[in-house]
Structure 1
Amino acid sequence: MPIIDVWAQHPTPRFLRHEMLDSLRRWLGEEIPAGEVPVSATLAVLDAGGVDRALLSAWHGPEGALVSNDEVAAFVAEAPERLGGVASVDLGKPMAAVRELRRAVRELGFVALRVVPWLWGLPPNDRRYYPLYAECVELGIPFCTQVGHTGPLRASETGRPIPYLDEVALDFPELTIVAGHIGYPWTTEMIALATKYPNVYIDTSAYTVRRYPAELVSYLRAHGRRKVLFGTNYPMLTPERALAGLDDLGLDEETTELFLAGNARRVFGD
Protein backbone atom coordinates (compact mmCIF):
# COMPACT_ATOMS: atom_id res chain seq x y z
CA MET A 1 0.00 0.00 0.00
CA PRO A 2 1.51 3.40 -0.98
CA ILE A 3 2.59 5.78 1.78
CA ILE A 4 3.05 9.56 1.59
CA ASP A 5 4.72 11.45 4.45
CA VAL A 6 3.23 14.96 4.47
CA TRP A 7 5.63 16.51 7.02
CA ALA A 8 9.35 15.84 6.79
CA GLN A 9 12.57 17.82 6.62
CA HIS A 10 15.87 17.03 4.99
CA PRO A 11 17.98 18.88 7.55
CA THR A 12 20.74 21.40 7.15
CA PRO A 13 23.47 21.63 9.84
CA ARG A 14 22.04 24.95 11.11
CA PHE A 15 18.63 23.30 11.49
CA LEU A 16 20.00 20.28 13.36
CA ARG A 17 22.15 22.36 15.68
CA HIS A 18 19.56 24.99 16.60
CA GLU A 19 19.12 25.31 20.36
CA MET A 20 15.33 25.09 20.05
CA LEU A 21 15.69 21.37 19.25
CA ASP A 22 17.66 20.57 22.42
CA SER A 23 14.57 19.18 24.14
CA LEU A 24 13.76 16.90 21.21
CA ARG A 25 17.30 15.56 21.08
CA ARG A 26 17.11 14.75 24.80
CA TRP A 27 13.85 12.84 24.33
CA LEU A 28 15.00 10.96 21.27
CA GLY A 29 18.64 10.43 22.22
CA GLU A 30 19.74 11.55 18.77
CA GLU A 31 23.28 12.67 17.95
CA ILE A 32 23.91 15.52 15.53
CA PRO A 33 25.70 14.50 12.32
CA ALA A 34 29.12 16.11 11.92
CA GLY A 35 28.45 17.68 8.49
CA GLU A 36 25.97 17.89 5.66
CA VAL A 37 23.44 15.06 5.44
CA PRO A 38 23.22 13.59 1.91
CA VAL A 39 19.79 13.27 0.36
CA SER A 40 20.53 9.57 -0.08
CA ALA A 41 20.37 9.22 3.73
CA THR A 42 16.82 10.56 3.81
CA LEU A 43 15.83 8.31 0.92
CA ALA A 44 17.25 5.31 2.79
CA VAL A 45 15.11 6.20 5.80
CA LEU A 46 12.03 6.44 3.57
CA ASP A 47 12.85 3.04 2.09
CA ALA A 48 13.24 1.49 5.54
CA GLY A 49 9.79 2.74 6.49
CA GLY A 50 8.14 1.82 3.19
CA VAL A 51 7.41 5.47 2.33
CA ASP A 52 7.00 6.17 -1.38
CA ARG A 53 7.00 9.96 -1.21
CA ALA A 54 7.79 12.66 1.35
CA LEU A 55 7.02 16.37 1.34
CA LEU A 56 10.12 18.23 2.54
CA SER A 57 9.54 21.48 4.36
CA ALA A 58 11.65 24.62 4.36
CA TRP A 59 11.99 26.40 7.72
CA HIS A 60 12.05 30.16 8.18
CA GLY A 61 11.95 32.05 11.47
CA PRO A 62 12.60 35.59 12.69
CA GLU A 63 16.35 35.00 12.58
CA GLY A 64 16.28 33.78 8.98
CA ALA A 65 16.17 30.51 7.07
CA LEU A 66 17.13 27.31 8.84
CA VAL A 67 16.29 25.37 5.67
CA SER A 68 15.74 27.69 2.70
CA ASN A 69 13.34 27.18 -0.17
CA ASP A 70 16.22 26.95 -2.61
CA GLU A 71 17.90 24.28 -0.48
CA VAL A 72 14.68 22.26 -0.44
CA ALA A 73 14.38 22.66 -4.22
CA ALA A 74 17.91 21.26 -4.59
CA PHE A 75 17.06 18.29 -2.36
CA VAL A 76 13.89 17.58 -4.35
CA ALA A 77 15.81 17.82 -7.63
CA GLU A 78 17.93 14.83 -6.57
CA ALA A 79 14.86 12.56 -6.37
CA PRO A 80 11.76 14.34 -7.75
CA GLU A 81 9.84 11.07 -7.99
CA ARG A 82 10.24 10.57 -4.21
CA LEU A 83 10.28 14.11 -2.83
CA GLY A 84 8.14 17.26 -3.00
CA GLY A 85 8.70 20.76 -1.65
CA VAL A 86 6.81 22.80 0.96
CA ALA A 87 7.67 26.50 1.16
CA SER A 88 8.40 28.67 4.17
CA VAL A 89 8.64 32.47 4.16
CA ASP A 90 9.51 35.51 6.29
CA LEU A 91 6.29 36.31 8.15
CA GLY A 92 7.74 39.65 9.28
CA LYS A 93 7.78 40.97 5.69
CA PRO A 94 4.32 40.14 4.32
CA MET A 95 4.70 41.44 0.76
CA ALA A 96 8.15 39.90 0.29
CA ALA A 97 6.68 36.72 1.75
CA VAL A 98 3.87 36.69 -0.81
CA ARG A 99 6.34 37.17 -3.66
CA GLU A 100 8.59 34.40 -2.32
CA LEU A 101 5.64 32.03 -1.98
CA ARG A 102 4.63 32.78 -5.55
CA ARG A 103 8.18 32.05 -6.72
CA ALA A 104 8.37 28.82 -4.73
CA VAL A 105 5.17 27.50 -6.28
CA ARG A 106 5.47 28.79 -9.83
CA GLU A 107 9.23 28.43 -10.34
CA LEU A 108 10.32 25.77 -7.86
CA GLY A 109 7.21 23.60 -8.14
CA PHE A 110 6.36 23.55 -4.42
CA VAL A 111 2.97 22.16 -3.40
CA ALA A 112 2.19 23.99 -0.12
CA LEU A 113 3.18 26.68 2.37
CA ARG A 114 4.10 25.92 5.98
CA VAL A 115 4.39 28.48 8.77
CA VAL A 116 5.21 27.24 12.30
CA PRO A 117 3.51 29.71 14.69
CA TRP A 118 5.70 29.07 17.73
CA LEU A 119 8.78 30.06 15.74
CA TRP A 120 7.29 33.53 15.39
CA GLY A 121 5.33 33.76 18.63
CA LEU A 122 2.34 34.69 16.49
CA PRO A 123 -0.88 32.64 16.30
CA PRO A 124 -2.32 31.93 12.84
CA ASN A 125 -5.07 34.58 13.15
CA ASP A 126 -2.44 37.34 13.30
CA ARG A 127 -2.84 39.89 10.52
CA ARG A 128 0.64 39.13 9.13
CA TYR A 129 -0.55 35.72 7.90
CA TYR A 130 -3.55 37.01 5.99
CA PRO A 131 -1.88 38.08 2.72
CA LEU A 132 -0.34 34.60 2.58
CA TYR A 133 -3.72 32.91 3.04
CA ALA A 134 -5.13 34.90 0.14
CA GLU A 135 -2.15 33.92 -2.02
CA CYS A 136 -2.50 30.25 -1.08
CA VAL A 137 -6.10 30.38 -2.29
CA GLU A 138 -5.06 32.05 -5.54
CA LEU A 139 -2.26 29.52 -6.11
CA GLY A 140 -4.50 26.59 -5.19
CA ILE A 141 -2.18 25.21 -2.49
CA PRO A 142 -2.75 24.21 1.16
CA PHE A 143 -1.58 26.17 4.16
CA CYS A 144 0.21 23.85 6.61
CA THR A 145 0.84 24.69 10.23
CA GLN A 146 1.46 23.23 13.69
CA VAL A 147 -1.15 22.72 16.40
CA GLY A 148 -0.85 21.46 19.95
CA HIS A 149 1.88 21.85 22.53
CA THR A 150 5.39 22.79 21.45
CA GLY A 151 8.07 20.13 21.87
CA PRO A 152 10.94 22.58 21.28
CA LEU A 153 11.71 25.14 23.97
CA ARG A 154 9.07 27.66 22.97
CA ALA A 155 5.66 28.65 24.36
CA SER A 156 2.70 26.48 23.30
CA GLU A 157 -0.12 29.05 23.29
CA THR A 158 0.08 29.67 19.52
CA GLY A 159 -0.80 25.98 18.95
CA ARG A 160 -4.35 26.22 20.33
CA PRO A 161 -6.81 25.31 17.53
CA ILE A 162 -9.60 27.39 19.11
CA PRO A 163 -9.81 30.34 18.76
CA TYR A 164 -6.85 30.88 16.45
CA LEU A 165 -7.28 28.37 13.61
CA ASP A 166 -11.05 28.52 14.00
CA GLU A 167 -11.02 32.22 13.05
CA VAL A 168 -8.77 31.58 10.03
CA ALA A 169 -11.10 28.88 8.69
CA LEU A 170 -14.06 31.24 9.11
CA ASP A 171 -12.31 34.13 7.34
CA PHE A 172 -10.94 31.96 4.49
CA PRO A 173 -13.48 29.23 3.63
CA GLU A 174 -11.64 28.52 0.35
CA LEU A 175 -8.31 27.93 2.11
CA THR A 176 -7.21 24.33 2.63
CA ILE A 177 -5.58 24.01 6.07
CA VAL A 178 -3.48 21.04 7.19
CA ALA A 179 -2.83 21.14 10.92
CA GLY A 180 0.20 19.07 11.87
CA HIS A 181 1.15 17.38 15.15
CA ILE A 182 -2.44 16.29 15.98
CA GLY A 183 -3.18 19.15 18.40
CA TYR A 184 -2.57 17.42 21.74
CA PRO A 185 -3.58 18.37 24.45
CA TRP A 186 -6.31 20.13 22.47
CA THR A 187 -6.98 17.11 20.24
CA THR A 188 -10.75 17.31 20.68
CA GLU A 189 -10.70 20.96 19.57
CA MET A 190 -8.73 20.02 16.47
CA ILE A 191 -11.15 17.21 15.62
CA ALA A 192 -14.03 19.66 16.08
CA LEU A 193 -12.49 22.04 13.54
CA ALA A 194 -11.77 19.26 11.03
CA THR A 195 -15.39 18.15 11.39
CA LYS A 196 -16.80 21.68 11.18
CA TYR A 197 -14.86 22.89 8.13
CA PRO A 198 -14.69 20.96 4.84
CA ASN A 199 -11.17 22.24 4.07
CA VAL A 200 -9.50 21.61 7.46
CA TYR A 201 -7.37 18.47 7.93
CA ILE A 202 -5.17 16.92 10.62
CA ASP A 203 -1.77 15.31 10.11
CA THR A 204 -0.16 12.93 12.58
CA SER A 205 3.44 14.17 12.34
CA ALA A 206 5.59 14.04 15.48
CA TYR A 207 3.59 11.11 16.90
CA THR A 208 4.05 7.37 16.70
CA VAL A 209 0.95 5.28 16.05
CA ARG A 210 1.04 4.01 19.63
CA ARG A 211 0.85 7.59 20.95
CA TYR A 212 -2.20 8.69 18.95
CA PRO A 213 -4.82 9.98 21.39
CA ALA A 214 -7.85 7.68 21.68
CA GLU A 215 -10.20 10.37 20.38
CA LEU A 216 -8.14 10.71 17.18
CA VAL A 217 -8.20 6.95 16.61
CA SER A 218 -11.99 6.92 17.05
CA TYR A 219 -12.31 9.83 14.61
CA LEU A 220 -10.07 8.10 12.08
CA ARG A 221 -12.10 4.91 12.26
CA ALA A 222 -15.38 6.74 11.69
CA HIS A 223 -16.34 10.05 10.07
CA GLY A 224 -12.76 11.35 10.03
CA ARG A 225 -11.39 8.80 7.61
CA ARG A 226 -11.07 11.45 4.88
CA LYS A 227 -9.65 14.14 7.19
CA VAL A 228 -6.47 12.62 8.69
CA LEU A 229 -3.09 12.40 6.90
CA PHE A 230 0.07 10.52 7.83
CA GLY A 231 3.22 12.48 8.68
CA THR A 232 6.43 11.87 10.60
CA ASN A 233 8.31 15.13 11.28
CA TYR A 234 11.50 13.34 10.17
CA PRO A 235 14.38 13.58 11.19
CA MET A 236 12.85 13.87 14.68
CA LEU A 237 10.87 10.69 14.00
CA THR A 238 11.55 8.07 11.31
CA PRO A 239 8.72 6.55 9.25
CA GLU A 240 9.60 3.05 10.47
CA ARG A 241 9.21 4.12 14.09
CA ALA A 242 6.15 6.28 13.40
CA LEU A 243 4.25 3.43 11.72
CA ALA A 244 5.07 0.64 14.16
CA GLY A 245 1.80 -0.82 15.45
CA LEU A 246 -0.39 0.48 12.61
CA ASP A 247 -2.29 -2.81 12.38
CA ASP A 248 -3.28 -2.44 16.04
CA LEU A 249 -5.48 0.56 15.16
CA GLY A 250 -8.04 -1.76 13.60
CA LEU A 251 -8.52 0.34 10.46
CA ASP A 252 -10.23 -1.22 7.46
CA GLU A 253 -8.41 -1.31 4.13
CA GLU A 254 -10.11 1.78 2.68
CA THR A 255 -9.39 3.88 5.77
CA THR A 256 -5.77 2.72 5.87
CA GLU A 257 -5.25 3.68 2.21
CA LEU A 258 -6.85 7.10 2.74
CA PHE A 259 -4.78 7.75 5.86
CA LEU A 260 -1.45 6.67 4.37
CA ALA A 261 -1.75 8.20 0.89
CA GLY A 262 -5.20 8.87 -0.53
CA ASN A 263 -6.01 11.93 1.55
CA ALA A 264 -2.56 13.40 0.89
CA ARG A 265 -2.95 12.98 -2.87
CA ARG A 266 -6.32 14.73 -2.76
CA VAL A 267 -5.20 17.57 -0.50
CA PHE A 268 -1.80 18.31 -2.04
CA GLY A 269 -2.50 17.23 -5.62
CA ASP A 270 1.02 15.82 -5.58
Structure 2
Amino acid sequence: MTIDAWAQHPTLRHATDPIFDSLRRWTRSEAPTEELPVSLTVGVMDQGGVDQALISAWYKPNVTMISNDDVAGFVEQAPDRLVGVGSVDITKPMDAVREIRRCVDELGFAAIRVLPWLWEVPPTDARFYPIYATCVELDVPFCTQIGHTGPLMSSEVGRPIYLDRVALDFPELRIVAGHIGYPWTDEAIAVATKHENVFIDTSAYTAKRYPSQLVDYLRSNGRTKVLFGTNYPMITPAKCLEHLDDLGLDDETRRLFLHDNAARVFKL
Protein backbone atom coordinates (compact mmCIF):
# COMPACT_ATOMS: atom_id res chain seq x y z
CA MET A 1 0.00 0.00 0.00
CA THR A 2 1.14 3.57 -0.73
CA ILE A 3 0.15 6.85 0.94
CA ASP A 4 0.84 10.19 -0.74
CA ALA A 5 1.66 12.60 2.10
CA TRP A 6 1.37 15.79 0.03
CA ALA A 7 -1.17 16.35 -2.72
CA GLN A 8 -4.07 18.55 -3.61
CA HIS A 9 -7.18 18.19 -5.72
CA PRO A 10 -7.15 21.65 -7.30
CA THR A 11 -10.06 23.97 -7.73
CA LEU A 12 -10.07 26.09 -10.86
CA ARG A 13 -9.16 29.07 -8.65
CA HIS A 14 -6.05 27.24 -7.47
CA ALA A 15 -5.03 25.79 -10.82
CA THR A 16 -5.24 29.11 -12.66
CA ASP A 17 -3.68 31.35 -10.02
CA PRO A 18 -0.89 33.44 -11.60
CA ILE A 19 1.43 32.44 -8.78
CA PHE A 20 1.91 29.10 -10.55
CA ASP A 21 2.88 30.52 -13.95
CA SER A 22 6.55 29.73 -13.32
CA LEU A 23 5.71 26.12 -12.42
CA ARG A 24 3.79 25.69 -15.64
CA ARG A 25 6.96 26.63 -17.52
CA TRP A 26 8.77 23.83 -15.67
CA THR A 27 6.09 21.20 -16.25
CA ARG A 28 5.22 22.44 -19.77
CA SER A 29 1.56 22.14 -18.90
CA GLU A 30 -1.41 24.36 -19.59
CA ALA A 31 -3.76 25.59 -16.89
CA PRO A 32 -7.17 23.86 -16.98
CA THR A 33 -10.19 25.78 -18.20
CA GLU A 34 -12.84 23.94 -16.19
CA GLU A 35 -13.16 22.30 -12.79
CA LEU A 36 -11.47 18.90 -12.57
CA PRO A 37 -13.54 15.95 -11.32
CA VAL A 38 -12.41 14.04 -8.24
CA SER A 39 -12.57 10.90 -10.35
CA LEU A 40 -9.62 12.23 -12.36
CA THR A 41 -7.45 12.50 -9.25
CA VAL A 42 -8.50 9.04 -8.08
CA GLY A 43 -7.70 7.66 -11.53
CA VAL A 44 -4.22 9.16 -11.44
CA MET A 45 -3.74 7.62 -7.99
CA ASP A 46 -4.75 4.25 -9.41
CA GLN A 47 -2.24 4.58 -12.24
CA GLY A 48 0.55 5.21 -9.72
CA GLY A 49 -0.55 2.58 -7.22
CA VAL A 50 -1.43 5.14 -4.52
CA ASP A 51 -4.09 3.95 -2.08
CA GLN A 52 -4.60 7.18 -0.13
CA ALA A 53 -3.63 10.81 -0.69
CA LEU A 54 -3.66 13.65 1.81
CA ILE A 55 -5.19 16.60 -0.05
CA SER A 56 -4.89 20.10 1.34
CA ALA A 57 -6.67 23.41 1.38
CA TRP A 58 -4.74 26.50 0.23
CA TYR A 59 -5.01 30.01 1.64
CA LYS A 60 -2.84 33.00 0.82
CA PRO A 61 -3.29 36.65 1.86
CA ASN A 62 -6.82 37.76 0.95
CA VAL A 63 -7.35 34.81 -1.40
CA THR A 64 -8.95 31.40 -0.84
CA MET A 65 -7.46 29.10 -3.47
CA ILE A 66 -8.88 25.82 -2.11
CA SER A 67 -11.16 26.20 0.90
CA ASN A 68 -11.46 23.73 3.75
CA ASP A 69 -15.04 23.13 2.69
CA ASP A 70 -13.84 22.42 -0.86
CA VAL A 71 -11.52 19.76 0.54
CA ALA A 72 -14.29 18.27 2.68
CA GLY A 73 -16.45 18.00 -0.44
CA PHE A 74 -13.70 16.25 -2.37
CA VAL A 75 -13.09 13.79 0.47
CA GLU A 76 -16.82 13.06 0.66
CA GLN A 77 -16.71 11.88 -2.97
CA ALA A 78 -13.87 9.41 -2.33
CA PRO A 79 -13.69 8.85 1.44
CA ASP A 80 -11.63 5.66 1.20
CA ARG A 81 -9.00 7.31 -1.00
CA LEU A 82 -8.71 10.97 0.01
CA VAL A 83 -7.78 12.35 3.44
CA GLY A 84 -8.41 16.00 4.26
CA VAL A 85 -5.72 18.45 5.34
CA GLY A 86 -6.87 21.88 6.48
CA SER A 87 -5.27 25.28 6.14
CA VAL A 88 -5.84 28.72 7.69
CA ASP A 89 -5.17 32.44 7.39
CA ILE A 90 -2.35 33.10 9.87
CA THR A 91 -3.01 36.86 9.97
CA LYS A 92 -6.05 36.22 12.19
CA PRO A 93 -4.70 33.83 14.83
CA MET A 94 -7.88 33.34 16.87
CA ASP A 95 -9.98 32.79 13.76
CA ALA A 96 -7.29 30.35 12.66
CA VAL A 97 -7.53 28.44 15.95
CA ARG A 98 -11.30 28.18 15.63
CA GLU A 99 -11.00 27.02 12.02
CA ILE A 100 -8.45 24.35 12.93
CA ARG A 101 -10.86 23.02 15.55
CA ARG A 102 -13.61 22.91 12.94
CA CYS A 103 -11.34 21.15 10.46
CA VAL A 104 -10.46 18.41 12.93
CA ASP A 105 -13.58 18.07 15.05
CA GLU A 106 -16.26 18.62 12.39
CA LEU A 107 -14.65 17.91 9.03
CA GLY A 108 -12.49 15.02 10.24
CA PHE A 109 -9.23 16.29 8.76
CA ALA A 110 -5.97 14.53 9.64
CA ALA A 111 -3.54 17.49 9.60
CA ILE A 112 -3.07 21.22 9.06
CA ARG A 113 -0.79 22.67 6.37
CA VAL A 114 0.48 26.25 6.07
CA LEU A 115 3.13 27.36 3.56
CA PRO A 116 5.38 30.13 4.92
CA TRP A 117 6.31 31.41 1.45
CA LEU A 118 2.68 32.31 0.75
CA TRP A 119 2.77 34.66 3.75
CA GLU A 120 6.41 35.74 3.31
CA VAL A 121 7.28 35.03 6.94
CA PRO A 122 9.26 32.13 8.47
CA PRO A 123 7.57 29.44 10.60
CA THR A 124 9.05 31.09 13.72
CA ASP A 125 6.72 34.08 13.23
CA ALA A 126 4.54 34.64 16.31
CA ARG A 127 1.35 34.20 14.30
CA PHE A 128 2.15 30.53 13.77
CA TYR A 129 2.41 29.74 17.47
CA PRO A 130 -1.34 29.51 18.26
CA ILE A 131 -1.60 27.17 15.28
CA TYR A 132 1.13 24.91 16.64
CA ALA A 133 -0.43 24.86 20.10
CA THR A 134 -3.83 23.93 18.66
CA CYS A 135 -2.34 21.13 16.55
CA VAL A 136 -0.67 19.72 19.67
CA GLU A 137 -3.89 19.95 21.64
CA LEU A 138 -5.87 18.19 18.88
CA ASP A 139 -3.04 15.70 18.21
CA VAL A 140 -2.72 16.39 14.48
CA PRO A 141 0.49 17.03 12.50
CA PHE A 142 1.51 20.40 11.16
CA CYS A 143 2.64 20.21 7.53
CA THR A 144 4.77 22.87 5.89
CA GLN A 145 7.14 23.48 2.99
CA ILE A 146 10.93 23.58 3.18
CA GLY A 147 13.44 24.44 0.49
CA HIS A 148 13.30 26.82 -2.43
CA THR A 149 10.00 27.87 -3.98
CA GLY A 150 9.05 27.14 -7.58
CA PRO A 151 6.68 30.12 -7.66
CA LEU A 152 8.46 33.46 -7.84
CA MET A 153 8.42 34.14 -4.12
CA SER A 154 11.23 34.37 -1.58
CA SER A 155 12.78 31.01 -0.66
CA GLU A 156 14.47 32.20 2.53
CA VAL A 157 11.43 31.45 4.71
CA GLY A 158 11.79 27.80 3.66
CA ARG A 159 15.13 27.29 5.38
CA PRO A 160 14.73 24.01 7.33
CA ILE A 161 16.71 25.37 10.28
CA TYR A 162 13.73 27.53 11.26
CA LEU A 163 11.95 24.32 12.27
CA ASP A 164 14.66 23.65 14.85
CA ARG A 165 13.30 26.54 16.94
CA VAL A 166 9.71 25.41 16.41
CA ALA A 167 10.50 21.84 17.46
CA LEU A 168 12.32 23.07 20.56
CA ASP A 169 9.31 25.15 21.58
CA PHE A 170 6.76 22.45 20.66
CA PRO A 171 8.45 19.05 21.16
CA GLU A 172 5.08 17.26 21.02
CA LEU A 173 4.18 18.76 17.64
CA ARG A 174 4.52 16.33 14.73
CA ILE A 175 6.01 18.39 11.89
CA VAL A 176 6.00 17.09 8.31
CA ALA A 177 8.35 19.20 6.19
CA GLY A 178 7.59 18.78 2.50
CA HIS A 179 9.66 19.23 -0.66
CA ILE A 180 12.95 17.76 0.69
CA GLY A 181 14.43 21.13 1.64
CA TYR A 182 16.66 21.49 -1.42
CA PRO A 183 19.14 23.24 -1.64
CA TRP A 184 19.35 22.89 2.16
CA THR A 185 18.75 19.14 2.30
CA ASP A 186 21.60 18.58 4.76
CA GLU A 187 19.95 21.14 7.03
CA ALA A 188 16.62 19.31 6.76
CA ILE A 189 18.25 15.98 7.62
CA ALA A 190 20.01 17.54 10.62
CA VAL A 191 16.75 18.93 12.00
CA ALA A 192 14.84 15.67 11.41
CA THR A 193 17.62 13.67 13.04
CA LYS A 194 17.75 15.97 16.07
CA HIS A 195 14.01 16.06 16.76
CA GLU A 196 11.90 12.96 17.31
CA ASN A 197 8.77 14.51 15.80
CA VAL A 198 10.21 16.18 12.68
CA PHE A 199 9.79 14.33 9.37
CA ILE A 200 10.64 14.99 5.72
CA ASP A 201 8.40 14.23 2.75
CA THR A 202 9.63 13.91 -0.81
CA SER A 203 6.86 15.85 -2.57
CA ALA A 204 7.68 17.88 -5.69
CA TYR A 205 10.54 15.52 -6.58
CA THR A 206 10.68 12.32 -8.58
CA ALA A 207 12.66 9.41 -7.14
CA LYS A 208 15.28 9.97 -9.83
CA ARG A 209 15.91 13.50 -8.48
CA TYR A 210 16.17 12.74 -4.75
CA PRO A 211 19.45 14.23 -3.46
CA SER A 212 22.02 11.54 -2.70
CA GLN A 213 22.26 12.53 0.96
CA LEU A 214 18.50 12.05 1.37
CA VAL A 215 18.72 8.59 -0.19
CA ASP A 216 21.58 7.71 2.17
CA TYR A 217 19.51 8.96 5.12
CA LEU A 218 16.49 6.97 3.95
CA ARG A 219 18.59 3.80 3.75
CA SER A 220 20.03 4.22 7.23
CA ASN A 221 18.94 6.04 10.39
CA GLY A 222 16.28 8.01 8.51
CA ARG A 223 14.17 5.06 7.45
CA THR A 224 11.41 6.03 9.91
CA LYS A 225 11.70 9.75 9.14
CA VAL A 226 11.01 10.10 5.41
CA LEU A 227 7.53 9.98 3.83
CA PHE A 228 6.58 9.63 0.18
CA GLY A 229 4.79 12.60 -1.38
CA THR A 230 4.04 13.83 -4.90
CA ASN A 231 2.74 17.43 -4.90
CA TYR A 232 0.12 16.24 -7.38
CA PRO A 233 -1.08 17.67 -9.74
CA MET A 234 2.38 19.16 -10.36
CA ILE A 235 3.77 15.60 -10.61
CA THR A 236 1.76 12.40 -10.91
CA PRO A 237 2.40 9.46 -8.57
CA ALA A 238 3.46 7.24 -11.48
CA LYS A 239 6.10 9.78 -12.52
CA CYS A 240 7.33 10.22 -8.94
CA LEU A 241 7.78 6.47 -8.46
CA GLU A 242 9.17 5.68 -11.90
CA HIS A 243 12.76 5.14 -10.68
CA LEU A 244 12.06 3.99 -7.13
CA ASP A 245 13.69 0.60 -7.74
CA ASP A 246 16.96 2.37 -8.56
CA LEU A 247 17.27 3.60 -4.96
CA GLY A 248 18.15 0.13 -3.67
CA LEU A 249 15.76 0.17 -0.72
CA ASP A 250 15.22 -3.08 1.16
CA ASP A 251 11.65 -4.31 1.61
CA GLU A 252 11.24 -2.91 5.12
CA THR A 253 12.57 0.54 4.19
CA ARG A 254 10.41 0.64 1.10
CA ARG A 255 7.30 -0.21 3.13
CA LEU A 256 8.13 2.42 5.75
CA PHE A 257 8.75 5.07 3.10
CA LEU A 258 5.66 4.39 1.00
CA HIS A 259 3.15 3.62 3.73
CA ASP A 260 4.02 2.93 7.34
CA ASN A 261 5.67 6.25 8.23
CA ALA A 262 2.71 8.26 6.92
CA ALA A 263 0.19 5.91 8.52
CA ARG A 264 1.93 6.39 11.88
CA VAL A 265 2.48 10.18 11.66
CA PHE A 266 -1.04 10.98 10.39
CA LYS A 267 -2.70 8.19 12.41
CA LEU A 268 -4.40 6.71 9.36
Cα deviation, residue 32, structure 1: 1.6
2:41 is equivalent to residue 46 of structure 1: no
2:199 is equivalent to residue 201 of structure 1: yes
Cα distance in 1, alignment partners of residues 160 and 7 from structure 2: 22
Question: 1:126-158: per-residue Cα shift (whole Å, max 9, x none)?
Answer: 000000100000000000000000011111000
Question: 1:229-263: per-residue Cα shift (whole Å, max 9, x none)?
Answer: 00000000100001111000000000000000000
Code of the residue aligned with 2:15 in structure 1: it is L
2:67 is equivalent to residue 71 of structure 1: no
Question: 1:140-194: per-residue Cα shift (whole Å, max 9, x none)?
Answer: 00000000000111110000011x1111011000100000000000000000011
1:211 counterpart residue number: 209
Cα distance in 1, alignment partners of residues 112 and 194 from structure 2: 22
Cα distance in 1, alignment partners of residues 72 and 160 from structure 2: 30
Cα deviation, residue 34, structure 1: 1.5
Taking structure 1 as the reference length, what is the TM-score of the superposition? 0.99
CA contact (8 A) 1:117 1:145 kept: yes
Runs of 4+ more than 2 Å apart: none
1:269 counterpart residue number: 267
CA contact (8 A) 1:64 1:90 kept: no
1:144 counterpart residue number: 143
CA contact (8 A) 2:8 2:57 kept: yes
1:123 counterpart residue number: 122
CA contact (8 A) 2:16 2:32 kept: no
Cα distance in 2, alignment partners of residues 56 and 30 from structure 1: 21
2:186 equivalent among 170, 179, 188 = 188
CA contact (8 A) 1:141 1:268 kept: yes
Cα deviation, residue 227, structure 1: 0.1
Cα deviation, residue 64, structure 1: 2.2
Cα distance in 1, alignment partners of residues 120 and 218 from structure 2: 31
SS at structure 2 position matched to 1:161: coil
SS at structure 1 position matched to 2:199: strand
SS at structure 2 position matched to 1:148: coil
Cα distance in 1, alignment partners of residues 141 and 100 from structure 2: 12
Taking structure 2 as the reference length, what is the TM-score of the superposition? 0.99
Cα distance in 1, alignment partners of residues 23 and 128 from structure 2: 27
CA contact (8 A) 1:3 1:261 kept: yes
Matches within 5 A, 1:233-252: 233-252=231-250
Cα distance in 2, alignment partners of residues 204 and 63 from structure 1: 29
1:108 counterpart residue number: 107
Unmatched tracts of structure 2, length 5 or more: none
Cα distance in 2, alignment partners of residues 63 and 5 from structure 1: 29
Cα distance in 2, alignment partners of residues 235 and 92 from structure 1: 28
CA contact (8 A) 2:59 2:89 kept: yes
SS at structure 2 position matched to 1:35: coil
CA contact (8 A) 1:207 1:242 kept: yes
1:225 counterpart residue number: 223
State the number of aligned residues.
268
Code of the residue aligned with 1:75 in structure 2: it is F
Code of the residue aligned with 1:114 in structure 2: it is R
Unmatched tracts of structure 1, length 5 or more: none
Q: Identity over aligned residues, as a percent?
A: 66
CA contact (8 A) 1:148 1:160 kept: yes
Cα distance in 1, alignment partners of residues 194 and 36 from structure 2: 41
2:98 is equivalent to residue 99 of structure 1: yes
Code of the residue aligned with 2:238 in structure 1: it is E
